[in-house]
Amino acid sequence: MERIGFWIGGKIVPGESGRTGPVYNPATGEQTHEVDFATPQEVSKAVEAAKEALPGWRATSLSKRADVFFRIRELLEERKTDIARAITLQHGKVLSDAVGEVQRGLENVEYATGIPHLLQGAFSEQVSTGIDVYSIRQPLGVVAGITPFNFPGMVPIWMCANAMACGNTFLLKPSEKDPGPSLVLAELFKDAGIPDGVFNVVHGDKVAVDAILEHPDIAAVSFVGSTPIAKYIYANGTANGKRVQALGGAKNHMIVLPDADIDMVADSAVSAGYGSAGERCMSVSVVTSVGKVSDRVVDAIADRLPKVKVGSGLDPESEMGPLVTREHRDKVASYLDSGSAQGARVITDGREHALYKESPGFFLGLSLMDEVTPQMDAYRDEIFGPVLSVVRADTYDQAVDLVNRNPYGNGVALFTRDGGAARQFIFEVEVGMVGINVPIPVPVAYYSFGGWKGSLFGDSHMYGPEGIRFYTRGKVVTQRWPDPAKSAVDLGFPRTR
Ligand code: NAD
């Protein structure tokens, strides 16, 4: 069985502990690799490499750092399909979707090419006689990123592009379920001119994560994953004195007002609900239709489901691939049983799909449940699969209340033709990323990405301006160039007037 090792100091380093995890091709169900799990000593080795590379990288001029990011951008563009293929083989998403993931990562690299501008400080001349003050932002040191399975290319880039551009060195701990793309990225960074030790990768489970959280030489941790682990990372990372941003899970609602165009609503709900087999943190998982429009919304969505082609991500005809593992697929499917037992109406059961019944791959067909209520497990849990729930509301107020009472607050969408209603919604909805007639409102790279409530622990959103702030700390310099002849002792507190 082929092994997946670490990337330390610019080269592949095999794990030595003998602890490993299986990696599958979700479309065939076959195990294709064993990934090495790092011990705390191996994590320390990677941190040492990052520490060693830090002084040189920190001192590299902004123009040279920007040059490297321009080269990364070119190589990402050139190798987009290879990276996407590496993603599809271990995650399962269809190739076109994996290319889209790389493209959204690339946007963050483009943002990082502007680092000379992004790190500009402020300068105040003559704050007192002969005294100037200026502020600068400097890197934190060695920083780490811990990432989820669902975006094995994009989310690491969300973190490491800004972190490295700011002058930090980086340690990535990607998901052990699809670790392959991290090494494809590592090679690309090296080819683009990232010096050895500036970008490192270790794989593993809780043991490697705890070693990162406890390591005294790691200054900050960025995390993206499920809410219980995000909470754990935030509590333990900050208890160890680190700066932490921990993005968690989601339950994204799409509210449909009665004036919305039903065909557009159904197209958007199907695209955003089942794209990437529902394994996106910004997937729509609940459609909340308001008033008498509900029957038409459910019918229009149900009509579209049989037309979506499910199959291997490498088949250019496929629109939706398998789920990441068999266990995850079975857990997702179990919500159809619990939903039905708790009173929901299963309109389309993905277990009827031929690939669910016959393929050894981890397939589940598109599933739709109507008359779901907030008390049901299917509503309370983040399903993270191709199961869309419809929760009916009588009024706009009920729909907004449902969203605001939900413990998650990642993304939300409103579909309407009424600008006044949309404006009111933006004003009062308690969610970090809002789409108006846009079902997956992932911000572009020059804004920042982050949810509210149980979808984010810490005060910094990811990438964009907040990413630059997260990966740097401020320093304020007060300086004068006095005439030594006028020097005198003065025990008073420094005055400006
Ligand atoms: P996960 O929380 O299981 O794993 C995320 C990372 O944490 C992985 O690297 C994993 O190895 C590590 N981890 C897992 N269990 C751990 C433990 N007990 N102790 C320490 N570390 C542990 O998440 P996942 O299943 O890989 O990804 C899906 C989740 O990520 C969903 O909840 C999804 O909503 C969320 N997500 C959120 C965003 C966002 O931006 N808010 C983006 C993508 C994914």
Domain at 95, CATH number:
3.40.605.10
**Judgement on whether residues 88 and 132 belong to the same structural domain of the protein:** yes
| Residue 139 located in a structural domain | yes
468 Cβ closer than 6 Å to some ligand 1 atom? no
**Judgement on whether residues 172 and 278 belong to the same structural domain of the protein:** no
Query: Ligand 1: which residue has its CA nearest to atom 18?
Result: 206
pLDDT digits over 380-397, tens only? 999 999 999 999 999 999
- Locate the ligand 1 atom nearest the alpha carbon of residue 226 and give its number: 32
Pocket test of ligand 1: the residue of 226, 232, 283, 456 to mutate, having most ligand atoms within 8 Å of its CB, is 226
| Residue 102 located in a structural domain | yes
| Residue 493 located in a structural domain | no
Pocket test of ligand 1: the residue of 150, 431, 433 to mutate, having most ligand atoms within 8 Å of its CB, is 150
Q: Domain range for residue 234?
A: 2-248+455-477
Query: Are 32 and 2 in contact, with CB atoms under 8 Å apart?
Result: yes
245 Cβ closer than 6 Å to some ligand 1 atom? no
**In angstroms, what is the span from residue 168 Cα to ligand 1's centroid?**
24
416 Cβ closer than 6 Å to some ligand 1 atom? no
Give the pLDDT score at 497. 77
pLDDT band at 101 (very low <50, low <70, confident <90, very high): very high
**Judgement on whether residues 290 and 225 belong to the same structural domain of the protein:** no
| Residue 443 located in a structural domain | no
Structure tokens at 283: 């997937």
**Judgement on whether residues 307 and 399 belong to the same structural domain of the protein:** yes
Give the pLDDT score at 441. 95
The answer to whether residue 269 scores a pLDDT higher than 80 is: yes
Mean pLDDT computed over 246-263: 98
**Judgement on whether residues 193 and 258 belong to the same structural domain of the protein:** no
Q: Say whether 160 is catalytic.
A: no
**Judgement on whether residues 282 and 181 belong to the same structural domain of the protein:** no
**In angstroms, what is the span from residue 303 Cα to ligand 1's centroid?**
33
- Locate the ligand 1 atom nearest the alpha carbon of residue 175 and give its number: 9
- Locate the ligand 1 atom nearest the alpha carbon of residue 233 and give its number: 20
Query: Where do the H-state alpha helices sit in 137-281?
Result: 154-165, 180-192, 206-214, 227-239, 262-274
**Judgement on whether residues 125 and 229 belong to the same structural domain of the protein:** yes
| Residue 490 located in a structural domain | no
| Residue 450 located in a structural domain | no
Query: Ligand 1: which residue has its CA nearest to atom 9?
Result: 175
247 Cβ closer than 6 Å to some ligand 1 atom? yes
How many distinct structural domains can be found in the chain?
2
pLDDT digits over 290-322, tens only? 999 999 999 999 999 999 999 999 999 999 999
**In angstroms, what is the span from residue 77 Cα to ligand 1's centroid?**
27
**Judgement on whether residues 331 and 238 belong to the same structural domain of the protein:** no
**In angstroms, what is the span from residue 92 Cα to ligand 1's centroid?**
17
pLDDT digits over 121-176, tens only? 999 999 999 999 999 999 999 999 999 999 999 999 999 999 999 999 999 999 99
| Residue 496 located in a structural domain | no
Supply the pTM of this predicted model: 0.97
**Judgement on whether residues 305 and 373 belong to the same structural domain of the protein:** yes
Looking up tokens 């090494």 gives: 183
209 Cβ closer than 6 Å to some ligand 1 atom? yes
43 Cβ closer than 6 Å to some ligand 1 atom? no
**In angstroms, what is the span from residue 224 Cα to ligand 1's centroid?**
6
Return mean pLDDT, the chain.
97
Query: Ligand 1: which residue has its CA nearest to atom 24?
Result: 148
Give the pLDDT score at 189. 98
Q: Which position among 4, 164, 230, 281 bears the catalytic label?
A: 281
Give the pLDDT score at 25. 98
Give the pLDDT score at 103. 97
pLDDT band at 494 (very low <50, low <70, confident <90, very high): confident
- Locate the ligand 1 atom nearest the alpha carbon of residue 204 and give its number: 11
179 Cβ closer than 6 Å to some ligand 1 atom? no
Pocket test of ligand 1: the residue of 4, 93, 101, 175 to mutate, having most ligand atoms within 8 Å of its CB, is 175
Give the pLDDT score at 496. 75
* Polymer length of the chain: 497
**CA 69 to CA 193: how far, in whole Å?**
9
**In angstroms, what is the span from residue 226 Cα to ligand 1's centroid?**
4
176 Cβ closer than 6 Å to some ligand 1 atom? yes
Mean pLDDT computed over 22-42: 98
**CA 299 to CA 69: how far, in whole Å?**
48
- Locate the ligand 1 atom nearest the alpha carbon of residue 227 and give its number: 32
**In angstroms, what is the span from residue 67 Cα to ligand 1's centroid?**
33
**In angstroms, what is the span from residue 131 Cα to ligand 1's centroid?**
50
The answer to whether residue 247 scores a pLDDT higher than 80 is: yes
**Judgement on whether residues 413 and 469 belong to the same structural domain of the protein:** no
- Locate the ligand 1 atom nearest the alpha carbon of residue 173 and give its number: 9
| Residue 445 located in a structural domain | no
**Judgement on whether residues 237 and 263 belong to the same structural domain of the protein:** no
* Number of alpha carbons in the 13 Å side-chain half-sphere of residue 246: 22
Give the pLDDT score at 393. 97
252 Cβ closer than 6 Å to some ligand 1 atom? no
Mean pLDDT computed over 392-407: 98
* Sequence-distant contacts of 460-465: CB under 8 A, at least 24 apart: 460/245, 461/245, 461/432, 462/158, 462/159, 462/222, 462/224, 462/245, 462/247, 463/108, 463/111, 463/158, 463/159, 463/161, 463/162, 464/111, 465/118
- Of 325, 251, 231, 265, the closest CA to residue 31 belongs to 325
Pocket test of ligand 1: the residue of 155, 281, 284, 331 to mutate, having most ligand atoms within 8 Å of its CB, is 281
**CA 223 to CA 82: how far, in whole Å?**
26
146 Cβ closer than 6 Å to some ligand 1 atom? yes
**In angstroms, what is the span from residue 334 Cα to ligand 1's centroid?**
20
- Of 201, 199, 169, 180, the closest CA to residue 72 belongs to 199
64 Cβ closer than 6 Å to some ligand 1 atom? no
Give the pLDDT score at 184. 98
State the sign of the Cα–Cα–Cα–Cα dihedral 449, 455, 457, 459.
Answer: positive
Domain at 374, CATH number:
3.40.309.10
**Judgement on whether residues 210 and 338 belong to the same structural domain of the protein:** no
Give the pLDDT score at 495. 80
